Structure 1
Amino acid sequence: MAVFTAVTDTQLALWMRDYDLGEVVDFRGIQSGIENSNFFLTTTRGEYVLTIFEKLTAQQLPFYLDLMRHLAAHRVPVPDPMPRSDGALFGLLQGKPTTIVTKLEGAPELAPRDEHCIEVGQMLARMHLAGRDFAGDQPNLRSLPWWEETVPTVLPFVDAAQRELLTNELAHQRAFFASDDYAALPGGPCHCDLFRDNVLFAHAAPGSGHEVRLGGFFDFYFAGCDKWLFDVAVTVNDWCVDLATGRLDLPRVDALLRAYQTVRPFTPEESRHWDDMLRAGAYRFWVSRLYDFHLPRSAALLKPHDPGQFERILRERLAGSPLPGIHSPCN
């Protein structure tokens, strides 16, 4: 559980004066996340999540909150930021940007089956299309420029084989990002972190004919404008792999990709570079987990994720293992 900034009852009571959300009933830290301080907040009006942003600045935050409001207005199930009495979607609590959003229904599914991947694939494509007319424009802050800045800081902590893989893959991705095909890939606002623990599933309604029901996507605070294929690759690298080995579970991959394409078919360029983007998705999280593991920040309770998981995933993508393709309408 990561709680970098503690909040007292008195501080919370003062903060809540700027909201029309009723009286506080319960307030407790959330046992997940390594970037922000997150709390469940229950009031007499409903259930919410309060987030104190430890890294994001007041200048960066409007992109994320405005994107969530935009997606919610387009019927994509995401947390909706609550306005303060002055209409702002965030304020300062202990000098740090802080917001309150609606709490989604359901719980994460940490052992997903094909039917969960179908729901995620369809909603991810809907989210991508819903973001096409979003006015905000902020790049994915954990993309190539961040890799180039961060990799040198983690190289002293890894062995020779890991150093070779980190530097070789960075060179490969640098060339890929500079290519004409990369420039032609469609894109827009992306979640960029759609892991199993950032999706909720609720009980399906009796008689609906569905085994599972998607409750929503949350934790958009790594979101940014990127290639949609990158978002798909990040999602597949978590939802459709054996976590112990990094190997793809081909039926789950097929279920997610087919479901996505019922909403948005892939382009020829996306089909050609699916393997490159799977590698990019694995590389991004290997680098960030190495950084968090070897150069951690202090927190009340913080357990960094295992960097080895995404090293294994990247090595699997490079090993020539069976790789399901994606198919464009022109193939």
Structure 2
Amino acid sequence: MAVFTPVSLQDLTPWISSFSLGSVSNIRGISSGIENSNFFVSTEKGEYVLTLFEKLTFDELPFYLNLMQHLARKGIKVPAPVPDKNGRILHSLHGKPACLVTKLVGDWQPEPEALHCAQVGDMMAKMHLAGQDYSLQQPNPRGLEWWKKTVPLILSYLPVKTSFMLQDELRFQEEFASTNLYWKLYRGPIHADLFRNNVMFDSTRLTGFFDFYFAGCDSWLFDVAVAINDWCIDPGTGELDSVRVRAFLDAYHAVRPFTLDECAAWKTILRGAALRFWISRLYDFYLPRDAEILTPHDPCHFERILRLRIAQPAPELVL
């Protein structure tokens, strides 16, 4: 999250009158993240999160907002879009698409332990199953097609050896995506960005997943790999912590068992999840957009992770 479009209390007061939330008393910008303008909003009825979408359009947003609404109705702990007095969940503010969602309690966990990872694995599996009957379809917006379009834009900024490695891995993932194995993996709506700062805990109790604005339809295994590459590593080195990995995978498997095909694809999918975030961080670092509050992430972090996933054996998916 970030702030690209400032919103003042004076801006918000007439806008929020279309909701049944009473008067608004406070608004403050949220600095983390890099895609949208986000704010905590305090009203007579409670605390909410306001998002102004800087890239996503009015036509694109129904997939995300309705997915959150669908999951919330099925008991998955996610922010629920707040309807206005006419039942609408998608709005406009300062000429940008905007929505208001419920605010999760607690805080994110910067140093997760096995008990945190197990809860994330458990709820991710429940989320995947709950999304099976979601009616809208959209490819992963930061999937292979985006990688292929974005890599040429960043190659000129990289040392020659790094550029070759990036292109080699992209070719490897393209070849894998053309195999029967890839297309046999279970698919559905995924979060696609479930880092530790997108999950809330109240002490040691998981209270919800949020920031679904990179969601799309892709393999469930890719969602697992994205999370493992953040929740279960030493952040300084990118090395996997076997205890946390096992806790996450076992908890997920207890709800939605892994398949033989997923076991065969696992190491390649782990590499693909690392590549996705290396590419996006390179893009955000070298081709940034202006924002009032914005701190680009270090792209070297996911370069290290990718090198490790290529060189080392992947933790096994136990059936």
Could you say which TM-score interval applies, normalised by the shorter chain?
over 0.9
Identity of aligned residues (%): 54
Task: Trace 1:201-212 onto structure 2 (pairs within 5 A).
Answer: 201-203=201-203, 212=204
Match of 2:37 in 1: 37
Matched, 1:232 2:232: no
> Match for 2:314 among 297, 313, 323?
323
* SS in structure 2 at match of 1:273: helix
Q: Which amino acid in the other structure matches residue 96 of structure 1?
A: K
Match of 2:95 in 1: 95
Match of 1:69 in 2: 69
Task: Please state how far the C-alpha of 1:267 moved relative to its aligned partner.
Answer: 0.8
Q: Could you list the runs of 4 or more consecutive aligned residues of structure 1 that deviate by over 4 angstroms after TM superposition?
A: none
Aligned 8 A contact 1:84 1:90 in 2: no
Q: Which amino acid in the other structure matches residue 307 of structure 1?
A: P
Aligned 8 A contact 1:190 1:223 in 2: yes
Q: Which moved more, 1:84-93 or 1:295-304?
A: 84-93
- In structure 2, what is the Cα distance between the partners aligned to 1:124 and 1:250? 19
Match of 1:26 in 2: 26
- In structure 2, what is the Cα distance between the partners aligned to 1:293 and 1:33? 13
How many residues align? The count is 319
**Structure 2 residue runs without a partner (length 5+):** none
Match of 1:140 in 2: 140
- In structure 2, what is the Cα distance between the partners aligned to 1:134 and 1:106? 28
Task: Trace 1:1-331 onto structure 2 (pairs within 5 A).
Answer: 2-203=2-203, 212-319=204-311, 321-328=312-319
Aligned 8 A contact 1:268 1:327 in 2: no
Q: Which amino acid in the other structure matches residue 196 of structure 2?
A: R
Task: Please state how far the C-alpha of 1:33 moved relative to its aligned partner.
Answer: 1.4
Give TM-score, length-normalised by structure 1: 0.95
Q: Which amino acid in the other structure matches residue 219 of structure 1?
A: D
Task: Tell me the C-alpha RMSD between the 2 structures.
Answer: 0.9
**Structure 1 residue runs without a partner (length 5+):** 204-211
Task: Please state how far the C-alpha of 1:26 moved relative to its aligned partner.
Answer: 1.3
Task: Please state how far the C-alpha of 1:315 moved relative to its aligned partner.
Answer: 0.2
Q: Which amino acid in the other structure matches residue 118 of structure 2?
A: I
Give TM-score, length-normalised by structure 2: 0.98
Aligned 8 A contact 2:17 2:23 in 1: no
Note the alpha carbon deviations across 1:240-272, whole angstroms, 9 max, x for none: 011111111111101100010000000111000
Aligned 8 A contact 2:266 2:314 in 1: no
